[in-house]
Amino acid sequence: MQLDSKIPEGPLAEKWDKARFSNKLVNPANKRKYEVIVVGTGLAGGAAAATLGELGYNVKSFCIQDSARRAHSIAAQGGINAAKNYQGDGDSIFRLFYDTIKGGDFRAREANVYRLAQVANNIIDQGVAQGIPFAREYGGTLANRSFGGAQVSRTFYARGQTGQQLLIGAYSAMMRQVAAGKVTLHTRQEMIDLVVVDGEAKGIITRNLITGEIERHSAHAVVLATGGYGNVYFLSTNAMASNVTAAWRAHKRGAGFANPCMVQIHPTCIPVHGDSQSKLTLMSESLRNDGRVWVPKNANETRKAADIPESERDYYLERKYPSFGNLVPRDVASRNAKQACDDGLGVGETKLGVYLDFSEAIQRDGLDVILRKYGNLFHMYEKITASNPTKEPMMIYPAVHYTMGGLWVDYELMTTVPGLYAAGEANFSDHGANRLGASALMQGLADGYFVLPYTIGNYLAKVAPEPTNTNHEAFDEAENSARELTTKLLKNTGSGKSGLKTVDYYHKKLGQVMWDDCGMGRNKEGLEDALKVIPEIREEFWDNVTVPGKGNELNQSLERAGRVADFLEFGELMVRDALEREESCGGHFREESQTEENEAKRDDENFSHVSVWEHKGEGNKPVMHKEALAFENVTPSQRSYK
């Protein structure tokens, strides 16, 4: 596997200009002869489909939901960063770049992150032009807030629904292209294989989720904007259908998978209520701007929060990190919450929770002000928990939220399979080992609106503009293997075999292993154990899973079974990657690599690289390649929030 990151030569600030100039262009009259498949309709996929359509390409857009307006980007609450410096508080493109690469604990590429900071401003302009109702000041200018511990106010927002508004913006732009005949929608279609013809991506195999039919689709290039893999843990803040299938099957067809162990665990989620819990709900971390995190000082505390006197409370983030206090980065806040609960200080029925208390803020600013800022979040919290955060503190606990790892891509967002691109959370490129708040929306839209539409032309210009078809034997082979998979998943149906278990049973079992051994804290022993257990669960799954219904009809159990089958393979790769990375960095905390004060200890000498995994066929060990990270414009420093 060759890893050529294709980073342009020259000064950081000029690289993107240089790339755009040296990229080959597709003749405007020829653009209509090219077809591009875009899988996924979140921010990255929606933005890419709309923009490619506007440019004149013929786009085939695929999503598993019933509409292109529903992908999980929609759930992002807090906001989107850009270095507009509208507040005149010292922001700049370089500062946004620096904060993002430092936040990622120096495990991302300088050139990619700098480009992200450069194009971020265009996203805000684009969004406003599309009619996105961003928050405004009285005078009519755009409002900003400080978010996720940033020292400048650079976050744009639309109440607590920024993701929704940006996604609907991209969706509307895409619908305009559907009306113009440039984008064809294929909703309720799941990509189940990538078709590689003579080493290049030339199509996909999908399952029509309504009819169960296996379909072939061809194009000159394929874009995967299929999101992250947080649901490998079963419980996460991801939508129920979020999955790794498209990325994983592409990996099995030759796309390198980078840093799979890099997972962000978000500190402010609503704690688990019981066994029937199906997913976790995030509370925007903007709450930490005014909420104070604490636990009782004594284990076995039984009093209500309000009855515990100040002197018996431990505001542990303020105590341990006096300069950042409650605004420490997500990974630090999460690990400390886990630590408090491991020490027996957790609160709530399950003792897996810590308080997030607004009483002081309400006293200081008044209830009105606090409700204006967080009213919708309080409302959402109360709906789920039946508890009012203005009367008693919220309870929060960390939950799996975002995956920084993903398909390896070069500077042009192309994977190791020529003609196959990955955008948004599905790629690995911009967040390193930890993503900063309000950066996911920024990256998804940057990739979709402003990067991919430029770089894909550089590939297409070298491809003959001949009509595509699905006749090649690679399509036969991929379609057959998709059919075989369905048959294999359904083999126990109606067999009368005893001891069969449902798909969810195995998903939960895998999730527990991942959470325990490859979650907030990881160590060699646990990871090695997981490497033994996961293949056992997988084997049991294939022997004993029951999937009711048939293959040639709408069958949600079968959809889930396919996704869980892939998680069962992918989980093992994550563990392998976590085992290999013997340092702590960002969201990846190896317990063996700590400072004397129990903080994460990065090891730049040995691990300043991206780990890229190559699939070597069923039953064979994958091979790891390294892309070395060079820092020419910033000096990696140990993060300190003391």
Partner 1 sequence: MSSKTINIIVKIWRQTGPHAKGNFEDHALKDISTGSSFLEMLDVMNEALANKGKEPIAFDHDCREGICGMCGAVVNGTAHGPEKETTLCQLHMRSFKDGDTIIIEPFRATGFPIVKDLIVDRSALDSIIQAGGFISVNTGSPQDANSILIPQHIAEQAMDAAACIGCGACAAACPNAAPMLFIGAKISQLALLPQGQQEARTRAVSMVGCMDENGFGNCGNERVCENVCPKGISIRHIARMNREYLKGAFAQSD
Active site residues: 330
Give φ, ψ of 288 to 5 degrees. Answer: -75, -10
Q: Report the residue number, 150 or 280, with the smaller CB distance to partner 1.
A: 280
CA 8 to chain centre: 27
Q: Report the residue number, 273 or 626, with the smaller CB distance to partner 1.
A: 273
Write down the least CB distance from residue 399 to partner 1, Å: 12
Q: How far is CA 407 from CA 149, 491, 502, in A?
A: 28, 31, 30
Residue 340 and residue 397: Cα distance in Å, rounded?
11
Q: Report the residue number, 179 or 628, with the smaller CB distance to partner 1.
A: 179
CA 46 to chain centre: 16
Q: Is 573 helix (H, G, I), strand (E, B) or coil?
A: helix
Residue 214 and residue 192: Cα distance in Å, rounded?
9
Residue 581 and residue 604: Cα distance in Å, rounded?
11
Please check whether residue 82 is in contact with residue 168, taking contact to mean a CB–CB distance below 8 angstroms. no
Write down the least CB distance from residue 477 to partner 1, Å: 31
Q: Is 294 helix (H, G, I), strand (E, B) or coil?
A: strand
Residue 128 and residue 515: Cα distance in Å, rounded?
40
Kindly state the helix (H) or strand (E) to which residue 248 belongs, with its residue range: helix 245-252
Axis crossing angle, helix 110-130 with helix 15-22, rounded to the nearest 10 = 80
Write down the least CB distance from residue 148 to partner 1, Å: 19
Beta strands in 7-50 (DSSP E): 35-39
- Surface-to-core class of residue 443, CB atoms within 10 Å of its CB (0-12 exposed, 13-18 middle, 19+ buried): buried
Kindly state the helix (H) or strand (E) to which residue 202 belongs, with its residue range: strand 200-208
Write down the least CB distance from residue 168 to partner 1, Å: 7
Contacts of 418 (CB under 8 A, 6+ apart): 199, 200, 201, 459
Write down the least CB distance from residue 523 to partner 1, Å: 32
Residue 268 and residue 566: Cα distance in Å, rounded?
28
Q: Report the residue number, 445 or 530, with the smaller CB distance to partner 1.
A: 445
Number of H helices, E strands in the chain: 18, 21
CA 312 to chain centre: 38
Strands 58-62 and 183-186: parallel
Q: Report the residue number, 1 or 371, with the smaller CB distance to partner 1.
A: 371
Residue 410 and residue 414: Cα distance in Å, rounded?
5
Q: Report the residue number, 349 or 591, with the smaller CB distance to partner 1.
A: 349
Write down the least CB distance from residue 124 to partner 1, Å: 5
Please check whether residue 268 is in contact with residue 293, taking contact to mean a CB–CB distance below 8 angstroms. no
Write down the least CB distance from residue 62 to partner 1, Å: 14
Q: Report the residue number, 164 or 259, with the smaller CB distance to partner 1.
A: 164
Q: Report the residue number, 67 or 595, with the smaller CB distance to partner 1.
A: 67
Write down the least CB distance from residue 257 to partner 1, Å: 25
Write down the least CB distance from residue 472 to partner 1, Å: 31
Q: Which two tokens stand for residue 292?
A: 């104070």
Strands 394-403 and 263-269: antiparallel
Q: Report the residue number, 136 or 642, with the smaller CB distance to partner 1.
A: 136
Question: How are strands ordered across the β-sheet holding 263-269?
Answer: 263-269, 394-403, 354-357, 292-296, 313-314
Q: Report the residue number, 510 or 527, with the smaller CB distance to partner 1.
A: 510
Write down the least CB distance from residue 235 to partner 1, Å: 11
- Surface-to-core class of residue 597, CB atoms within 10 Å of its CB (0-12 exposed, 13-18 middle, 19+ buried): exposed
Axis crossing angle, helix 43-55 with helix 162-179, rounded to the nearest 10 = 30
